[in-house]
Structure 1
Amino acid sequence: MVTSPSSTADGRRRIVVVEDDSANRLFFADYLTFSGFAVLALPHGLDLEQQLKEFQPDLLLLDLGLPEIDGYALLKQVRSSVMWQQLPVIVVSGYAFAEDQHRALAMGAQKYLVKPVHLHQLTDAVHAVLQSSNDEAG
């Protein structure tokens, strides 16, 4: 279970990005790094739990339409894990239907953003979810 905010040696908060589209993955990773976060960007979630264990993120940015294992299955896996069940998750997906949004939020995502995402919208969501997570932990 994540009990206190993790950060890098220089104090940056950590974000794991799971996005199969290479342009989006690079876009999110570069922008979040530029915004002061430490980022681990993954093209799929096949070994997500191991990656989380090694990177110790403060937040997971998750696409739903992934190859091999979809984002819903990954979200369920994260919420089922004793170690990661409290990890904040923001879904960033091209799935724009309300039922997809409701499903992801009901499964434990804190926010749901529909692609294309504006940069300020992404950082606002990240800061809001991290702040909320800090408030709940404190």
Structure 2
Amino acid sequence: MMILALPSRANSSTNILLIEDNDISRQLMSEYLKYCGYNVLELPGGSAFETSIAAFQPDLILLDLKLPDVDGFTLLQQVQQHPEWLHIPIIVVSAFAFQSDQQRALSLGARRYLVKPVKLVQLERSIQEELAQ
């Protein structure tokens, strides 16, 4: 369950790549972020990850770890192999609440780790903080 709150208005030129396999979660986050003023590209899995980064040029990535075709840890490793992508902040949004999963994701380059269910206002605050750095 995600809790709605009134968002601040984002810069409409900010691109967010959202990788989430759960249709309801993906749609809810996407619609909220679009309402906040972000441009959002949604992916239900990781197979088009690299081509989507190249084409969409995201300013930030929201990444679920449990995906049907490839896990999020593998996608984090792919980012590490592309120095030109290392500046893109990645926020993991996952149901994996174990400390070991969090530590692994952060060691692979994720900037933040949010455990589902996440409050949308918390998600947007995290996005704003990462984009301000």
Normalising by structure 2, we get a TM-score of 0.89
Q: Measure the CA separation in 1 of the matches of 2:89 and 2:20.
A: 17
Structure with the larger RCO, 1 or 2 (CA within 8 Å, 6+ apart): 2
Q: Please show how residues 1-138 of structure 1 align to structure 2 within 5 Å.
A: 11-132=12-133
| Structure 1 runs (4+) greater than 6 angstroms displaced | none
**Deviation (angstroms), 1:12:** 2.2
Q: Which runs of 5+ in 2 are unaligned?
A: 1-10
Q: Measure the CA separation in 1 of the matches of 2:83 and 2:108.
A: 15
Q: Measure the CA separation in 1 of the matches of 2:115 and 2:55.
A: 29
Q: Which runs of 5+ in 1 are unaligned?
A: 1-9, 133-138
Q: Measure the CA separation in 2 of the matches of 1:54 and 1:109.
A: 21
Check the 8 A contact 2:12/2:39 in 1, yes or no.
no
Letter in 2 for 1:70: D
Check the 8 A contact 1:79/1:86 in 2, yes or no.
no
**Deviation (angstroms), 1:11:** 4.4
Q: Measure the CA separation in 1 of the matches of 2:80 and 2:35.
A: 29
Letter in 2 for 1:120: V
Size of the alignment, in residue pairs? Answer: 123
Q: Measure the CA separation in 1 of the matches of 2:80 and 2:102.
A: 17
Letter in 1 for 2:123: L
